[in-house]
Amino acid sequence: MTQESKEPAAQKSLLSFRANTRLLIGEGSISQLGATAQELSSKRALVVSDKGILAAGHTSTGVASLEAAGIETTIFSQFTENPTTSQVDAGTVFAESFRPDIIIGLGGGSSMDCAKGINFLLCCGGKMKDYQGRGTTGRPLLPSIGCPTTAGTGSETQSFALISDAQTGEKFACGDPNAAFRVAILDPCLTVTQPARVTALTGIDALSHALESHVSTEATRVSQVFSREAWKLLTQNLPKVFIEPTDIHARAAVQLGAAWAGLAIENAMLGAAHGAANPLTAKYKIAHGQAVGLMLPHIIRFNGPVARKQYAELAAIAGLNTKTPDAALANWIHDILGQAGLSRSLGDAIGTQPAMSEFEHLAKEASAQWTSSFNPRPCLPVDFVDFYQRASVQNACPPKTKTLHHE
């Protein structure tokens, strides 16, 4: 065999896997926030935490730990779900006046994404759009800690911040290895106070992360280990949380599953379900978990011809029919949306039936989404029109009981 013939095989066998974040896991682990910040030589901490988390008392618990460690602390909370570019700008101005040496995202995905966005601008200047994509800063950022109070986004284990354009509502991902949290504190006790709807929305989002990262064009056999483990934890425990919200062991498993799915995203990215969901959130203000849950069954069926083997692996883990895994998974997702009390059609979610012109506009935006480019089967605008049409029909993907068991 010649040298020329050896090199491509060697290059193809190379694997790259990134894990930037140390995890502290367990009930009550939020009490270690102060000691953890001390380990990172912090003396002045900016805590980014939304108003709902403030009201729940979780922010004060974290601040108490920081202050007990002798760390001067201030809180920024002037942002909403899906933080916007203008809100990140305001947070950066706030941070500049305080001059922190560490940034802590304490809350759901919005709090953690806003914290990362502030870190980008505080250390590198410019605007959030300047950092769209991966590896965009080339400069060190402040050390940071993530403390998730929801179990879904996986922001705690990835280096991306999802920020919405304040003018258009367009969501875009800004990523850099230096933006990843140095440490993530996974305390399941922080997730118990979530409203049932937030538990449902974030849980569906986590499931979508495990599914899409497992079949993406950038998935590797290493990233798929985390996708599968995330899927196992989520499918076995999320239904338990829906039935018994105070089940702390199930909560802990779901929280860890969301973190593993985030790590899979960090290395493998997502797919067309997220590409189709983002325009729905921008146009109709549909919550992200609801939007991606609506689109996921139709994307799974579309991907079936090219991703059946990968889907069969996930179907087997969930105890579903592995002979037609794409149909089984699509039906299971559709079914769990109902269990979660979420809408199962676009018309139901927005209260009206969109016109064809709206589908075409949404499809154009979806096909231009960065995440869509990692789908295992390329999607054209006409494909997205079809997805939206199918999602708009009530019970377009009816659950079939026989798919919930091995055959």
Q: Tell me the pLDDT tens digit for each residue of 39-73.
A: 999 999 999 999 999 999 999 999 999 999 999 99
Q: How confident is the model at residue 96 (pLDDT cuts 50, 70, 90)?
A: very high
Helix 223-243 with 325-339: angle, nearest 10 deg = 40
List the domains of the chain with CATH numbers: 22-191 (3.40.50.1970), 196-404 (1.20.1090.10)
Say yes or no to pLDDT of 358 above 60. Answer: yes
Q: What pLDDT, on a 0 to 100 scale, did the predictor assign at position 195?
A: 92
Q: How confident is the model at residue 8 (pLDDT cuts 50, 70, 90)?
A: very low
Q: Tell me the pLDDT tens digit for each residue of 374-395.
A: 999 999 999 999 999 999 986 6
Over pLDDT 90: what percentage of the chain? 82
Q: Mean pLDDT across the stretch 105-128?
A: 95
Q: Tell me the pLDDT tens digit for each residue of 251-269.
A: 999 999 999 999 999 999 9
**Residues with Cβ < 8 Å from 31, sequence gap 6 or more?**
61, 65
Q: How confident is the model at residue 401 (pLDDT cuts 50, 70, 90)?
A: very low
Q: How confident is the model at residue 305 (pLDDT cuts 50, 70, 90)?
A: very high
Say yes or no to pLDDT of 402 above 60. Answer: no
Q: Tell me the pLDDT tens digit for each residue of 326-352.
A: 999 999 999 999 999 999 999 999 988
Q: How confident is the model at residue 20 (pLDDT cuts 50, 70, 90)?
A: confident
**DSSP string across 67-95:** HHTT-EEEEE----SS-BHHHHHHHHHHH
**DSSP string across 136-186:** ---S----EEEEESSSSS-GGGSSEEEEE-TTT--EEEEE-GGGS-SEEEE
The model's pTM is: 0.90
Q: Tell me the pLDDT tens digit for each residue of 67-89.
A: 999 999 999 999 998 899 999 99
Say yes or no to pLDDT of 206 above 80. Answer: yes
Find, among 263, 22, 289, the residue nearest to 154 by Cα: 263
Helical H segments across 183-222, by residue range: 196-215
